[in-house]
Amino acid sequence: MQFPKKRVLTTGLNIYNKVFVMKETIYQIIRKRIMYLEYKPGQILNEKVLAEEFKVSRSPIKDVLNRLEWEQFVRVIPRTGSMVSEIEFSRIMNVYQVRCEIESFEASLAEGQFFSKHLTSLKELYETCKNLMTREDPKALTEIDASLRSLIHDAAGNKVLEDVSERLYSQTFRLWYSVLVKSDWNEEVSAVARELETLLEYSSSGVSNEFGGIRKAHLVKHLERLRHKFLGTLERPI
C-alpha cells in the first residue's frame, strides 16, 4: 500500500524540479541580456511577450521578474510592466567602494590557500588575455575577469563572502560593460592583463600578505578609469 504514495511523491518532486530548472533557465537568460545591455536601461519587459517567447505561462515569468527586481535589475511599474533599471552612476560608485573592501579581504583569505591548481589556471587566464590584444571581444574579456573572480572564490573558500561579492559585482557590471564596448580596446585588455601578470609575479616571489593589496589596487584603478570615461572629469590613470 506504500508504493502508490512513493510514486506520487516522486512524481511531485520531478515536477517541482522541472519547474525549478525551467525558471532558473529563464532567469539566467533574461539576467544575461540585462547584464550585457541587450535589454537597455529603461526598456520595458512585457510578461506576455516573454511568456510567448519562452513558451510558458505568465506565472513563472512573473516569478523571474520578481527575483530580478529583488536583485535591482528591474523595477516594477504598475499597469505597465517591469522596467530595466537605469545605470545610476553615483550609486554604482558607492557599490564599488564596498567591493574594494570586500574583494581585497577575500583575496587576503585566498592567499594562504592559493595552490598549484590555482596558479596553473591563473597562467592560462593570462595567456588567454594576451591573445585578446589582437581580437576584440568584450564578452571574452569579461569572462576572463569572471574566471579570476572564481579562482579567488575557490581559494578563499568562504561562501558568504562569495555571495556578497557576486551580488555587488553584478550591480556594477553594466557600467563597466557600457564603457568597455566604447573604450580603447588595447587599454582595457592591458588593464586586465596587468593585474593577472602582477598576481603571477607575486605568487612566484615568496612574498606574503600582498594578495589583497594587489586586488584592491587594481579595483581602485579600474574605478578611476570608469569615472574618467563616464564623466570625463579626471586625469587618465596610469
Separation CA 104–CA 106 (nearest Å): 5
Q: Give yes or no for a contact between 70 and 82, defined as CB atoms under 8 angstroms apart.
A: no
- Residue 234 pLDDT > 60, yes or no? no
Per-residue model confidence (pLDDT) at position 56: 94
Written as nine digits, the cell of 122 is 591563473
pLDDT in tens, 78-128: 888 899 999 999 999 999 999 999 999 999 999 888 888 999 999 999 999
Other Cβ atoms closer than 10 A to 180 = 18
What CATH number labels 89-231? 1.20.120.530
Other C-beta atoms closer than 10 Å to the C-beta of 226 total 21
CATH architecture observed for domain 2-84 = Orthogonal Bundle (1.10)
pLDDT at 13 over 70: no
Average pLDDT over every residue of 194-213: 84
Residue 206, pLDDT above cutoff 70: no
Rounded to the nearest integer, the mean pLDDT of the chain is: 88
Q: Is the model more confident about 10 or about 169? A: 169
Where along the chain do its domains lie? 2-84, 89-231
d(CA 195, CA 190): 9
pLDDT class of 75 with cuts at 50, 70, 90: very high
Q: Is the pLDDT of residue 144 over 90?
A: yes
Mean predicted confidence (pLDDT) in 210-216 = 90
- In the predicted structure, residue 153 carries a pLDDT above the cut 60: yes
